[in-house]
Amino acid sequence: MYRAVVLGVDGLNPEMLRRWLDDLPSLKKIQQEGIWGELESTIPPTAPQAWISSQCGQNPGAYGLWDYTYRGDFSYGESELADSKTIDDRVDCLYRILPRMGQKVALTNAPLTWPPPEIPGGYCISNLVPQNKEISFTWPKSLKDDVNKLLEDYIFDPFDTQRDSKLTETDRVVERIHDMDSQRLSLVRNFIHEKNCDYVFAVLTGAKLILRLLWGKSGQNDSLAHYQDVLREYYKWIDANIGEICKGLDSETVLFLYSPYSTEKAEGGINLNEWLIHNGYLTLDKYPEKPAVFKDLNVDWTKTRCWSMGKSGKLYVNLKGRETQGIVEPDDYDKLLDELADKISDIHDENGTALDPYVFKRDETHFGRYEEYGPDLFIQIEKVPWNTNDWVGYGLGVICSSDQREEPDSEYHGRYGYFCLSGSDVPAIGELRDISVLNMAPTVMEILRLEIPVHMEKPSILSMAKEKQKKSCVSRKERVRSRLKALGY
């Protein structure tokens, strides 16, 4: 029986992993005995779409999410909140595909699994605590009793001060974060060894949460170095647990670990709507008296050609014939996008330093049934860890600021995360380049010896590794043949 154990480590930073690798013997061994590398995320690299794309093998245009909220029409807002039903209505993730092929599936803390999807013959522990305590956070409902017996008090939120009055103490929060991920790892072991699942997928969030603690404390009395040590200890703790899990796996089970983006502190932000106002693309009926997000602005749509929503660099064109009050002629659409891309690429911070943002057109990066409802342009800053936002009101013309006043612990998602996998049938390739989150789902299918669905857009990592091996072997033979020929043989 072939099995795949997949651990998502939310917030894992590849640079920190490289820096500390000698202290991470389990991950170092996986890298030496298997395949690893940087993992290209979605555009933009926001949490919901990066995780969903990794589990369905399709780009966000296939299901229409670019954040936790979305628009399902051409309205001027993202009023809909995504949940598991949204995903199930729009796209097939592994937890839907595999049961149809006779596989037993278990999910723990996977993003957008509220309400917990009903998985035939399988299990799900949601990533959100229900407001109504009587509502089960598991599928099947009886799994809740198993969870409570195994773990007593399941932790959804390590910052829940109602349950623990000592959570104002940072060391206690760190302890609570470890407890939370320990529970999830206990469930992983239970799904592997007790419930004999074929596909086990769990997401650990401690790395990201400890980073948030680090950011919040770095300007206070406690030293930044101390909290970097705390994060390093968490990486070592995760590594030790990975080692323990590996010891319990048989030869037909592959361990697959990944983070679909990197995470670090955002050092600043671009107020995109303020930039649009300053450059004449967005007009307000009245400038706000205090900082306000897009949904609270009074926009004059008869004079507005473009606007931004959310925090992930999304720009929408007010297109005539598409938006209800559109003013941009369809023939001018591409010209406007090129003009915006050119000007945005020249944005500097408040000290005059070029930020060199990347600008992506939607039709260059997304396609599918829901692509048309998505943003027209995406902005990603990678030279420095800067975010974008849709705020207006810090003062007319205040476009860039390293003072993240509205979001003091704002996190930055980098476009490249990390992956590694090992097992008896995984070739010892080492580093493999040009791997995307879209390669994740087909890789699981190949691990399980199942046919990869035609809708998955990228090949399996295992197939890519075998192709690299083949080319390397051919190249080696050619070098030997050339050498022998030079020697007169």
Total domains present in the chain: 2
Do residues 89 and 173 both lie within one domain?
yes
Q: Which two tokens stand for residue 43?
A: 């555009």
Report the alpha-carbon distance of residue 409 to residue 287 in Å, rounded. Answer: 26
Residues found in the chain = 489
> Cα dist. 269→45, 273, 347 in Å?
16, 12, 11
First to last CA, the chain: 49
The reply to whether 472 falls in a domain is no
* Cis bond before residue 44 (omega within 30° of 0): yes
Do residues 216 and 93 both lie within one domain?
yes
Q: Choose among 439, 373, 454, 464: nearest CA to 92.
A: 454
Do residues 174 and 311 both lie within one domain?
no
Do residues 278 and 379 both lie within one domain?
yes
Q: Are 261 and 11 in contact (CB under 8 A)?
A: no
The reply to whether 436 falls in a domain is yes
The reply to whether 102 falls in a domain is yes
The reply to whether 57 falls in a domain is yes
The reply to whether 39 falls in a domain is yes
Whether the predicted pLDDT of 332 surpasses 60: yes
**pTM for the whole thing?**
0.92
Torsion of Cα atoms, 469 then 474 then 477 then 482, to 10°: -140
Do residues 33 and 174 both lie within one domain?
yes
Do residues 295 and 251 both lie within one domain?
no
pLDDT in tens, 428-455: 999 999 999 999 999 999 999 999 999 9
**Looking at residues 28-32, what average pLDDT do you find?**
97
Whether the predicted pLDDT of 221 surpasses 70: no
Do residues 459 and 314 both lie within one domain?
no
pLDDT in tens, 225-276: 666 788 899 999 999 999 999 999 999 999 999 999 999 888 889 999 999 9
Whether the predicted pLDDT of 301 surpasses 50: yes
The reply to whether 171 falls in a domain is yes
**Looking at residues 106-130, what average pLDDT do you find?**
93
Do residues 373 and 329 both lie within one domain?
yes
Residue with the two structure tokens 């879209």: 438
Do residues 80 and 133 both lie within one domain?
yes
CATH number of the domain within which 234 lies: 3.40.720.10
**Domain with 138 in it:** 3-265+413-465
Do residues 345 and 231 both lie within one domain?
no
Q: Give the angle subtended at the CA of 253 by the CAs of 251 and 257, to the nearest 5°.
A: 130
The reply to whether 487 falls in a domain is no
**Looking at residues 33-51, what average pLDDT do you find?**
96
The reply to whether 470 falls in a domain is no
In this structure, the number of other CB atoms found within 10 A of the CB of residue 350 comes to 12
**Looking at residues 208-222, what average pLDDT do you find?**
67
Report the alpha-carbon distance of residue 275 to residue 316 in Å, rounded. Answer: 14
Query: Could you tell me how far CA 470 lies from the centroid of its own chain?
Result: 32
pLDDT in tens, 406-423: 554 478 999 999 999 999
10-41: b (≥16 Cβ within 10 Å) or e? bbbbbebbeebeeebebbbbbbebbbbbbbbb
**Looking at residues 274-291, what average pLDDT do you find?**
96
